[in-house]
Chains A and B, each alone.
Chain A
Amino acid sequence: MLKDFDTIREQNMITLKELKEKGTKVVGFYCTYGPQELAVAAGAVCVGLCGTKEDPIPAAEKDLPRNLCPLIKSSYGFAVSDTCPFFHFSDLIIGETTCDGKKKMFELMAKIKPTHVMQLPQFPKEEASLALMYEEMKRVKAEMEKHLGVTITDEAIGEAIAILNEERRTMKEFFDLNQAKPALITGMDLLKISWQLGFHANRRERTVLLRRLIDELKAKAAEGYHVGNESTPRILLTGTPTGLGSEKVIRLVEECGGLVVSIENCTGYKTLNQYIDETDTRDKLLLLAERYLKIPCSVMSPNTDRLELLERMINEFQVDGVIDLTWQACHTYNIESATVGEMVKEKLGKPFLHLETDYSQSDVETLRVRINAFLEMIQE
């Protein structure tokens, strides 16, 4: 049943090529702050381009410093070496000023492809931030209309909002299946499915596939199916984004006998709980601005909503320990780890492990020792 998801990325390379030949436009996104609703409303296909593999990093290091987060290097490396078909097919790139590294990297990327960079506010609760976000939504919309040669109507945005709301609700429902103890889905499968679906060209089909999987899992669960058992340590993964190619920590946890029952990062649960009220009649771009400003990413200051989300997830998913995975040189997540660790250990009394690493395999054994000891600490 999970096999259907193994090849989505590969299949959609072909689909995307065919769509391109028929004149369909493709918009590449690097981050969850990119308002995909606008691209959907423009009739374009959205592709996630965030680099999760080590292969193109040497190519990136010709232009970028070595001491930069692997996610930025991987993303740029794919672009500059033209080894990612999804980047290749993209007509327009949407970037954001999330962190300094990305902000400056997009300046270099703009030499390769038309790249529009959104200026993100940094204080999410300030009124001026909403005003800026609203202006940025207008700029993205204008830029898409120019590059894609279309007019984006309010009606189309409304429809796109409904589609993405449904997609996020369904994904949340999928993740929430793991609130069951014992769990129903391994962390590796959570990662694989959410990552693979992000490459699906047909937006409605994504939800259909996921719905079918949820129903099948529920039916199997009713017959007693589960993964792990009552005493398997239940780990919540938080921190920087993960994808196939950068899954080593999830893999190690599960090789060492634990289970990643949920993933809080932006490729997981972080963005699944912010819906737009479809009956709200205010300006659609304002609705988008409000929604996107709610994403609890470490680039925001202070980022208290992440702590609330983590606390809720720790309770709802019956978590035994939290692993905060941060990529090397990701200042915002690395610094915020101290705040997260304090909350998890002091306030909630749960074991907490911060791991800082990159996409390479060179430290797998040292990570294994830490993860092994962490799981033993939980089980003892």
Chain B
Amino acid sequence: MTVYVGVDIGSLTTKVVLVNKEGQQLGRATARTGYSGKDVAQRLTEELLEERSLTAGDVGATVATGYGRVTFPADREVSEITCQAKGVAHLFPQVATVIDIGGQDSKVIRVLPGGKVIDFAMNDKCAAGTGRFLEVMAGALEVDLDQVGPLAIKANKVCAISSFCTVFAESEVISHVSRGTPKEEILAGICDAVASRVANMTERTGLELPVVFTGGVAKNQGVAAALSRHLGTELMIPADPQVTAALGAALCAAGL
């Protein structure tokens, strides 16, 4: 059986997706990127193939995307914007706007039916409005990253975090802690800060409905709720929002 591989080496997480020639997902895997995203991607690919009793010889083509794409020996490199749009449109054919929040990037992508990109905006070279921001703040509050969302949505009130800069926001969070502000409220404030920053980016591209929310941060209910509030619309979130760009890359590899 011929399979097609999509590899997305992100700043924090590496994702691999296998599809068949019809574009059906056969498997997916994620792991921390660490120092060598290339090695991680290779290991994940091998594991996925092995689980299905396949070998490298069964791979029709590989497409790499994400920050580490240049390091990976793929047949082709495609930008994560194009891959993201393609992957999301495969899952949600009606999508008009994709909002993706990853480890070091956030993006708003406007797409036509079928996934053709017509405009996009990305954050500046700064961690505001990214997964990295959440990670640093969760660290400052000694909360596990996957607990940020569940705790944030329990808050009665959203504490205001006004600094965009990760370093300044961290000091702001610490001053809230010393004032005794409940952890849930601070976390809700952090989620709100990320969401409002990204919601502002839709001013540059325009916001067409429906909106699909992807990226590792889409797993965080706190940010999803805040983003939905800021945009004034429901968000569709894929079952595994972290692998959509890798899926898009796999679809590119399959020529779909």
Contact = CB atoms under 8 A, between A and B. Distances in A.
A365 B80 CA distance: 12
A356 B118 CA distance: 20
Given A373-B79, A373-B82, A366 B105 contact: yes
Interface of B: 67, 77-82, 105, 116-120, 122, 124-125
Contact of B125 (A366, A373, A377): A366
Contacts of B122: 366, 369-370
Given A369-B79, A376-B81, A377-B116, 16 more contacts: A362-B125, A363-B125, A365-B67, A366-B122, A366-B125, A369-B80, A372-B77, A373-B79, A373-B82, A373-B117, A373-B120, A377-B81, A377-B82, A380-B82, A380-B116, A380-B117
23 contacts: A345-B119, A351-B118, A356-B124, A363-B125, A365-B67, A366-B105, A366-B122, A369-B67, A369-B81, A369-B105, A369-B122, A372-B78, A372-B81, A373-B81, A373-B82, A373-B120, A376-B117, A377-B82, A377-B116, A377-B117, A377-B119, A380-B82, A380-B116
Q: Which 6 residue pairs of A and B lie closest in terms of their CB atoms, listed nearest first?
A: A373-B81, A372-B79, A373-B79, A376-B82, A363-B125, A377-B117
Contacts of A366: 105, 122, 125
B61 to A, nearest CB: 17
Contacts of A363: 125
B59 to A, nearest CB: 23
Contacts of B79: 369, 372-373, 376
Interface in A322-380: 345, 351, 356, 362-363, 365-366, 369-370, 372-373, 376-377, 380
Contact of A376 (B67, B78, B105, B119): B78
A262 B118 CA distance: 23
Contacts of B120: 370, 373, 377
A372 B82 CA distance: 9
Nearest to A367: B125
Give the residue among A362, A370, A380 with the most B Cβ atoms within 10 A. A380
Q: Is the interface of B mostly helix, strand, loop or mixed?
A: mixed
A366 B117 CA distance: 18
B255 to A, nearest CB: 13
Nearest to A356: B124
Contacts of B125: 362-363, 366
Nearest to B116: A380
B97 to A, nearest CB: 15
A362 B126 CA distance: 11
Contacts of B82: 373, 376-377, 380
A366 B80 CA distance: 11
Contacts of A351: 118-119
A362 B67 CA distance: 14
A41 B122 CA distance: 50
Interface in A71-88: none
Contacts of A369: 67, 79-81, 105, 122
A301 B5 CA distance: 53
A377 B116 CA distance: 7
Contacts of B117: 373, 376-377, 380
Contacts of B78: 372, 376
Nearest to B84: A373
